[in-house]
Amino acid sequence: MDAPLPLDQAKLALTLLAIDPVGLGGIVIRGRAGPARDALVADLSALPRPHARIAPTVTDAQLNGGLDVARTLSNRKLVHAEGALGNAATLLLPMAERLTPERAARLASALDEGRTAIALDEGIDDEVLARVLEDRLAFRIETDMIPARMNVKTASDPDVIRKAQSRLTKLPTCASDIEALATLAAQFGIHSLRALHLAFRCARAHAALMTHETVDEADILVAGMLVLAHRATQMPSVEDEHPDNQPQDTPDDAESKPQNPTLDDDILLEAVKAALPPDLLARLSSGRIRRATGSGSGAKKRGNRRGRPLPARQGKLDGTTRLDIVATLRAAAPWQTIRAKSSSEKGVHIRPNDFHIKRFEETSDRLLVFAVDASGSAAFARLAEAKGAVELLLAEAYARRDHVALVAFRGEAAEVLLPPTRSLVQTKRRLAALPGGGGTPLAAGLQAALEVARTAARKGLTPTIALLTDGRANIALDGQPNRKDAREDAKRLAQMIAAEGVETLVIDTGTRPEPDLKTLSQTALGHYIPLPRADAKRLATAVSDALA
């Protein structure tokens, strides 16, 4: 069974959301601003009002409400201002992928209180909406898959919506419907009970829309395609689809067994597979699961001078801090009446314990330390790949806040060929001619990379080591050819890297995966990436994906 076109799915999802906005939570509309997305947003008028537009930079006071400082000081009594949440029934979240975890958690709590959310996700690549919020939104629409010139309007008749809502309250609940959806979710690796609940609410809303007396096979199918497909984390195995160990029903058993009112499992599985996003289907089929391990930038540190503003905190003015005037007045406002009675002076009475200081969160720059195996007959090829990868990554350095350093190890020792830099011209000049050949002093390479990482950390950078090797270490740290000692020295250096807390990527460039390298990455608490015959582009992509 073929999945509906993306435009048809979008129209149906918006209609079902209008029928049961609280039960379905909301919708994620992912894609850049354009005619298709604008048309979808404009067609959300059927959702409960009032609407509230909440930017990702909203503060706690703006979101939840709080003390109105100006009116409180003017009236000399507490005056509270209503926040953006207030009486809002529908929340529109532009640039939702930029919401901080704390803000996403607060909005998720607002959804649990009975609100509906429209999350506009404009993220690129691995920039995604916070999981705590996306889990509460039933639907997801990719606007890039909808032609810009097509008519996106749902043209839902308000009278049809009202009648469907009336029928929804009268639909019976059948355990077999829940069982069918739970089985389907498990086969696609979806273990969230919230996802199952949303799928069930979707099936009921569709049944009400189609004037079905009970939830039938078509309703289960729609719920699987609209709610479960984009949440899939695995492809159903052959055993799941055609279990060989299930006993066959005899003719007598088949007659005595009641017919399952839900859709045939094979058809349901194939229909949901067809509804999977194309990139997700290819990724799951090949067994690749890309999961971001960081924020794409360096470590976060807090200060009082620059960076992203954080909520002010009570503190002292010692010459190194900056006063947050609004927060200070907000802390002093409730005490003005009492302080005015005990003082002959007029005006606003401020005490030292009212002082609130500004705080900022600054992200440090990241340093990628490439430790490249330059030994053996394949050295020149590996160095050429590393050179190309470094140049590709430097092209993104300003956007990603990355610096790059290069360490090559061969013969009996390692050498820092390129100190930390963001200069593409200097990189090309230093990488013009790189030597190769000899043994594989893996431990020496790790030691040199660790020293570069330590120096960078002392300068405020966040270092990451990317090791490129085929794993055949044969030169010990003392320069002597001894495979056993070489492995032990490499293991000891990996333990030191783990103790320093330096993030590590071990990229296996051998023609076959090397078990010792996988063990080494586990010892360093890093990530193991097998990339046989990797070229510069694949290498740069692998590093970018791992650090995204």
Residue 299 has pLDDT above 70, yes or no: no
* 457 band by pLDDT with thresholds 50, 70 and 90: confident
Cα distance from N-terminal residue to C-terminal residue, the chain: 36
Residue 298 has pLDDT above 80, yes or no: no
Domains 1-156 and 366-547 share a fold: yes
Tokens 């927060």 sit at which residue? 327
Q: Which of 175, 211, 120, 161 is nearest to 20 (CA)?
A: 161
Convert the pLDDT of each residue in 99-134 to its tens digit.
888 889 999 999 999 999 999 988 765 567 888 999
Closest CA to 442 of 501, 406, 489, 404: 489
For residue 241, what pLDDT band results from cuts at 50, 70 and 90?
very low
Report CA 157 to chain centroid distance, whole Å. 37
Confidence label for 240 from pLDDT (cuts 50, 70 and 90):
very low
Q: Is the pLDDT of residue 258 over 50?
A: no
Write the CB contacts of 326 (distance below 8 Å, at least 6 apart in sequence): 69
pLDDT range class, residue 203, cuts 50, 70, 90: very high
pLDDT confidence of residue 119? 93
Q: Is the pLDDT of residue 243 over 50?
A: no
The answer, yes or no, to whether residue 548 has pLDDT greater than 70, is no
Q: What is the Cβ-side half-sphere exposure of residue 24, based on CA atoms within 13 angstroms?
A: 31
Q: Is the pLDDT of residue 248 over 70?
A: no
Q: Which residue has the higher pLDDT, 292 or 148?
A: 148
In the predicted structure, residue 328 carries a pLDDT above the cut 90: no
- 135 in Cβ contact with 195 (< 8 Å): yes
Quickly count: other Cβ atoms within 10 Å of residue 329's Cβ. Answer: 19
Which of 362 and 13 is assigned the larger pLDDT? 13
Lowest mean pLDDT among 110-119, 417-426, 460-469: 417-426
What letter would DSSP give residue 323?
Answer: B
pLDDT (0 to 100) of residue 262: 43
SS3 content of the chain, % helix, strand, coil (to 5): 45, 15, 40
Closest CA to 116 of 49, 197, 32: 49
From its phi and psi, is residue 411 left (phi > 0), alpha (psi between -120 and 50) or beta?
left
DSSP 130: -
Mean predicted confidence (pLDDT) in 77-95: 85
Q: Please give the share of the chain, as a percent, with pLDDT higher than 90.
A: 20
DSSP string, 425-444: HHHHHHTSS----S---HHH
- pLDDT tens, 267-278? 666 766 666 665
pLDDT in tens, 480-489: 888 889 989 9
| Helix (H) / strand (E) containing 403 | strand 402-410
The per-residue pLDDT for 448 is: 94
Query: In whole angstroms, what is the distance from residue 343 CA to residue 355 CA?
Result: 19
pLDDT tens digits for range 485-501 = 998 999 999 999 999 88
Beta carbons within 8 Å of 185's beta carbon, 6+ residues apart: 191, 192, 195, 196, 199, 228
Burial class (CB in 10 A: 0-12, 13-18, 19+), 185: buried
Domain extent listing, the chain: 1-156, 157-236+260-293, 300-363, 366-547
Q: What's the pLDDT score for residue 132?
A: 92
Query: Residue 381: CB partners within 8 Å, gap ≥ 6?
Result: none
Please check whether residue 170 is in contact with residue 59, taking contact to mean a CB–CB distance below 8 angstroms.
Answer: no
DSSP state, residue 144: G
Give me the pLDDT at residue 151, please: 54
Higher pLDDT, 457 or 43: 457
Q: Are 542 and 531 in contact (CB under 8 A)?
A: yes
Dist CA 315 CA 328 (whole Å): 10
DSSP 376: S
Q: What was the pLDDT predicted at 333?
A: 87
pLDDT at residue 489 in the model: 92
For residue 382, is pLDDT > 90?
Answer: no
DSSP 513-527: --HHHHHHHHHTT-E
DSSP structure string for 465-483: EEEEE-S---B-TTS-B-H
Enter the tokens of residue 106. Answer: 């607060």
pLDDT recorded at residue 255: 43
| pLDDT > 70: percent of the chain | 74
Q: What is the pLDDT of residues 182-202, one digit of tens each?
A: 988 888 888 889 999 999 999
Banded pLDDT at 534 (limits 50, 70, 90): low
Look up the CATH superfamily of 366-547: von Willebrand factor, type A domain (3.40.50.410)
Q: What is 1-156's CATH topology?
A: Rossmann fold (3.40.50)
Instruction: Output the average pLDDT for the chain.
Output: 78
Reply yes or no on whether the pLDDT at 259 is more than 70.
no
pLDDT band at 400; cut points 50, 70, 90? low
Structure tokens at 287: 């067994």
pTM higher than 0.85: no
Q: In 339-398, where do the E strands start and end?
A: 356-363, 366-373
